[in-house]
Structure 1
Amino acid sequence: MATTTETTVSLKLLIDSKGQRVLYVEAGKDFVDFLFNILLLPVGTVTRLLTKQGMVGCLGNLYQSVENLGDAYIQPTTNRDTLLKPTCSSNLATNGPLLLPNIHSSTPQGLYRCSYQYGTNCRSYYTNDATTACPSCSNAMNTLATFVNSKNKVSTASSATNEGGYVKGVVTYTILDYLTVTPMSTISSITMLNKFNVKQVDALEESWCGAIEGIDAVQDGAH
């Protein structure tokens, strides 16, 4: 039986101790990949996930974050339309780390091929229903096909440095209220402090937490 490995991440919170609020969360690529992966999940799964965390209204911000993120931060093997225009029958929601293992789709979907590996004619047929019989040999078409992104190229120089997932790990990312994701920089940090009207820099504190606590903190900071 195949096993899945749960990925744990640590997020850094920037807290205004005087105003008693979380200004933003600093996160690496694993957490951002997880957030963007939400756009590929079935609606029912997304609803359960975000309702549980009180973040139902954040999907538009995630979508906008993917649209606005510069190409320099997107993995060379990632097709942005995969996230912005996902297909209903795709089995693509696997690039992100498994940060919330207790929330799964009740109807996982993918593309399946014939289980008879020696049939040349069988290789031409695919289905999204694992109970379908192969038109060539009548065996069950229950072998999950592996999706290969259309931007994967043979022997490209960038492939050696590809980290997987959707975004690059070259920078830290900031997560603002209702899951707005942006690359972090010195200028953006100053801009955010001005946005939150922080007058006393010495009142800022840093704290570390896990993924669930980070989402809760962003939610609380939005109110």
Structure 2
Amino acid sequence: MATPKVTLKLLINKKTNKVLFAEAGKDFVDFLFTLLSFPLGTVIKLLSKNRMVGCLGNLYQSIEELGDAFFQPKIGKATVLNPKIPFRPSGSTLLLSDGGEDGIGSTTRKFYLCPSYHKNVADNPRAKCPQCSSKMRLEFSFLKAPPAADEANSEEGGFVKGVITYMVMDNLEVKPMSTISSITMLNKFNVQEVGALEEKVIELGMDEGLNLLKASLQSQTVLTNVFLGA
């Protein structure tokens, strides 16, 4: 399946070669907000160990190399190396596969019943039914009910509403965009000539998403660093 793309419009000061701000839709803002929900283990896995700042990459690798015998039976190293993301917005998040094939962000849980189908549920097949003492080894699936028709039409998914355009600053501050806010930003950056400004429309895929994630941990000028190489 092709990697989904997210569109972003940059306003660039050609004299300083810096991004003043970006005009963004719901999809990009949802992506930025999703970054805050990532556990550290997911961040390290996405960036790969050798791209991490400081010692976290070393810690991650040492856990990978540590034998399973050192971990608690019900925990395991996967709990740390491949943690579950508590909330995944619907639609593209650039860095997470929709089907969870990469193992990142998967929140699938298994549940079990006893052979006598008593009204008890466990999330561990070794648990025993309190009524018949049999192991709860019969696996069953948890089905999420589809939304009602009116909910499906009104529910956008994700974090923010898509009815407005958002302004994303070079340091990733997010605010609603308006004509007044745009003028205020131009005055703040002391832009005297409109001819010094340039609009640039870009598409973000997996690579750009990873670069944004990495730059957000290191820089206060993320958009400039990632898209202008400055």
2-structure distance, mates of 1:201, 1:120: 73
Counterpart residue identity of residue 28, structure 1: G
Unaligned runs of 5+ in 1: 57-87
- Could you tell me which residue of structure 2 aligns to residue 64 of structure 1? none
SS in 1 for 2:199: strand
Q: Is the 8 A contact 2:113 2:139 kept in 1?
A: yes
- Once the two structures are superposed, what CA deviation does each residue of 1:13-55 show, in whole Å capped at 9, x if it has no partner? 1111122211112111111111111222221222455799x99
- Could you tell me which residue of structure 2 aligns to residue 15 of structure 1? 12
| RMSD of Structure 2 on Structure 1 (CA) | 4.3
- Could you tell me which residue of structure 1 aligns to residue 182 of structure 2? 189
- Could you tell me which residue of structure 2 aligns to residue 160 of structure 1? 153
2-structure distance, mates of 1:6, 1:135: 44
SS in 1 for 2:180: helix
Written as runs of structure 1 = structure 2, the 5 A alignment for 1:85-104 is 91-95=86-90, 97-101=92-96
Task: State the percentage of identical aligned residues.
Answer: 38
The higher-RCO structure (CA 8 Å, 6+ apart) is 1
SS in 1 for 2:160: coil
Are 2:112 and 1:138 equivalent residues in the alignment?
Answer: no
Compared CA separation, residues 33 and 135, structure 1 to 2 (3 A): farther
Are 2:108 and 1:113 equivalent residues in the alignment?
Answer: no
Q: Is the 8 A contact 2:126 2:137 kept in 1?
A: yes
SS in 2 for 1:114: strand
Query: How high is the TM-score relative to the length of structure 2?
Result: 0.58
Structure 1 residue 204: Cα displacement: 1.0
- Could you tell me which residue of structure 1 aligns to residue 62 of structure 2? none
SS in 1 for 2:28: helix
Compared CA separation, residues 190 and 27, structure 1 to 2 (3 A): same
Q: Is the 8 A contact 1:175 1:181 kept in 2?
A: yes
Query: How high is the TM-score relative to the length of structure 1?
Result: 0.59
2-structure distance, mates of 1:174, 1:115: 51
Q: Which has the larger radius of gyration?
A: 2
- Could you tell me which residue of structure 2 aligns to residue 218 of structure 1? 223
Q: Aligned pair count? A: 177
Q: Is the 8 A contact 1:15 1:206 kept in 2?
A: yes
Unaligned runs of 5+ in 2: 54-82, 130-134, 216-221
Compared CA separation, residues 31 and 106, structure 1 to 2 (3 A): closer
SS in 2 for 1:10: strand
Structure 1 residue 12: Cα displacement: 0.6
- Once the two structures are superposed, what CA deviation does each residue of 1:50-77 show, in whole Å capped at 9, x if it has no partner? 799x998xxxxxxxxxxxxxxxxxxxxx
